[in-house]
């Protein structure tokens, strides 16, 4: 695994924003970068962006799709919906074998 110090990772995160982009630079996976961030106690720069998150939720409420918002903000579709769901405090609804089941998110 690549040797990246805490200071290097913090600096790289400001410049490259995503774990995937940092991983590409060092030839490692996004998950490996994520594990290093957790080890060093560094929060993701993508998660804590309240202005962007508010803009995503507002656009979604206005009828824009989650997929188009993901492309617009350079996020994954799952991350986009996670932002929307957290902002709205929604309960996730899944279809399982033809039945709807509600699953509350743990805090």
> What's the pLDDT score for residue 82?
87
Helix (H) or strand (E) holding 68: helix 66-72
Half-sphere exposure of 86 (CA within 13 A, CB side): 15
Supply the pTM of this predicted model. 0.51
pLDDT at residue 67 greater than cutoff 90: yes
Instruction: Report the alpha-carbon distance of residue 32 to residue 30 in Å, rounded.
Output: 5
Is 87:53 a contact under the CB 8 Å cutoff? yes
Which pLDDT score, from 0 to 100, does residue 47 have?
66
Lowest mean pLDDT among 5-9, 57-61, 74-78: 74-78
Average pLDDT over residues 29-57: 87
What are the sequence ranges of the domains in the chain? 6-40, 50-89
């Amino acid at each position: 695994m690549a040797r990246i110090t805490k200071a290097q990772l913090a600096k790289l995160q400001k410049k490259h924003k995503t774990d995937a982009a940092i991983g590409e630079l060092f030839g490692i996976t996004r998950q490996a970068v994520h594990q290093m961030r957790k080890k060093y106690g560094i929060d993701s720069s993508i998660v804590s962006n309240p202005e962007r998150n508010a803009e995503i939720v507002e656009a979604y409420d206005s009828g824009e799709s989650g997929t188009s918002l993901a492309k617009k903000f350079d996020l994954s579709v799952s991350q986009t919906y996670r932002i929307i769901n957290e902002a709205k405090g929604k309960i996730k609804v899944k279809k399982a074998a033809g039945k709807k089941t509600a699953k509350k998110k743990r805090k």
